[in-house]
Amino acid sequence: MPRRRLYFFDGTWADRNAKSKSTLLASIIDYISKGADLEIKYFPGPGTRNGWIERYLGGGLATKEVIATIIDAIGDLATNYHPGDLITVIGYSRGSYIGRSFIGFLDRVGLPKDGDRHALHDLYDKYTSGKFLKRGVPSHLRKKYNCIHVEVQTLLCIDTVGALGIPHTGIFGFLNLLPRLIGKQEFMETNAASNVQVLLHVLALHECRGPFQPTLMHIDEASNQVLQQVWFLGSHSDVANDDETGCISDIVLAWCVANLETHAGIVFDETKLSDRFPRMDADMPVTDSASNCLSWVHDPIRDPVKGLWWLMGRKTRVPNSHVARGKRTNESVHPTARRRGYGSSRERPVVPGHSLYWQDDSFVWKRNRSQSSDIGNSATTLPEAALSRREAHLLGVPTAYALRT
């Protein structure tokens, strides 16, 4: 009987099984209705396996823990996979990088039927070295290791960062001169793997730390893959820190739940969801009034550049600035950004480099003329994402809100 296989990859220093601060991945796992046909595999983030030295090196420059996690995931799937199994991969931050690398390996290499760790290391080394780009090598290695093609039903990433937390900016720009040390931690490619049916990506509008620039996904213009990359209020931490009910991350959680139900067929426990979303189905208007009981409306956006982070430099994220010829990114802005009452002026822009307009019976974000020289080749209009009925239900806003009225 086919099974649903869920792989969760957490962010740096995050571990749902420890006392460290948890992320939304912990809540998503807790709220899923467990069943006989469901297998959940959770991997704590880099920097959580050993002592304090690895906590800081593993969370920053070391590659061994990241590679070990990817190989562990491939080995688990090689041992347990049966044709017809439905695979969903969910990651946050550096865990998103790990999840995308895991899927990228399956796409280019395939799944070896033998889960031997030595063989997996050999294959992964060849994959990261670029040997799979040479003519004849892929077919030879696939045959040698008896690799099979595997489809992935859904990939959900929460704010994938390009440098994985490695500082390349500010006073740490000298690390760009150390490719042998950090090269394997960078993305080998940003194009979405062709073996994924649905790709979902949460992006943080207000993250401005230099090392935390986002790595968006790109698909061919003619691709039939479903790709949604949605920009949300908040910093890299705001969109995924699981602090308390009523925080900004509730907006992201509602979006994740709705999309995992729709695209991955995952069933959630309604009782647990109602505990997390106390205004569920309350049908309350969204205003910026202090009397508004929807607490996520007032949750402050944190300034991520604090402490020593200022040494690594600032860089504003500008949506629609990662467009490549012949590719699509399918970016949009979540409607809660507009509904919180921000972004209507250039003095306090919710979407950097853009202003809000009403066009063709819908809200759009248009690129400011003054920004054109800064963001280069990019689209000039950013649509507002649709809010699903399920999201409106969880957040406690009117159903009409889901219809943009």
Query: Angle 276-396-260 (CA atoms, 0-180°, nearest 5)?
Result: 60
DSSP state of 173: G
Domain membership of residue 159 as a residue range: 4-173+186-283+298-335
Cβ neighbours, 10 Å, residue 292: 14
Q: What is the pLDDT of residues 105-133, one digit of tens each?
A: 999 999 998 778 888 998 999 888 877 77
The reported pLDDT for the residue numbered 169 is: 45
| More confident of the two residues 102 and 397 | 102
Q: Are 81 and 41 in contact (CB under 8 A)?
A: no
Q: Are 204 and 232 in contact (CB under 8 A)?
A: yes
Radius of gyration of the chain (CA): 21
| Residue 322: inside a domain | yes
| Residue 80: inside a domain | yes
| Residue 358: inside a domain | no
The reported pLDDT for the residue numbered 132 is: 76
| Residue 365: inside a domain | no
| Residue 325: inside a domain | yes
Where do the DSSP E strands lie in 218-288? 219-220, 226-232
Range in 51-55, 229-233, 260-264 the model is least confident about: 51-55
| Residue 103: inside a domain | yes
- Give the mean model confidence (pLDDT) for residues 148-175: 71
Residue 39, CA distances (Å) to 11, 76, 160, 309, 392 in order = 21, 11, 24, 38, 29
Query: With bands split at pLDDT 50, 70 and 90, how would you rate the model's confidence at 323?
Result: confident
pTM: 0.88
Share of the chain above pLDDT 90, in %: 44
Query: With bands split at pLDDT 50, 70 and 90, how would you rate the model's confidence at 259?
Result: very high
Token pair belonging to 33: 């209705």
Query: With bands split at pLDDT 50, 70 and 90, how would you rate the model's confidence at 339?
Result: confident
Query: Angle 238-244-248 (CA atoms, 0-180°, nearest 5)?
Result: 35
- Give the mean model confidence (pLDDT) for residues 312-329: 85
Write out the H or E segment, with its range, that includes residue 216.
Answer: none
| Residue 362: inside a domain | no
For the chain, give the mean pLDDT: 82
Q: How far apart are the first and last CA of the chain?
A: 44
| Count of structural domains, the chain | 1
Range in 118-132, 176-190, 212-226, 382-396 the model is least confident about: 176-190
Q: Are 259 and 371 in contact (CB under 8 A)?
A: no
| Residue 72: inside a domain | yes
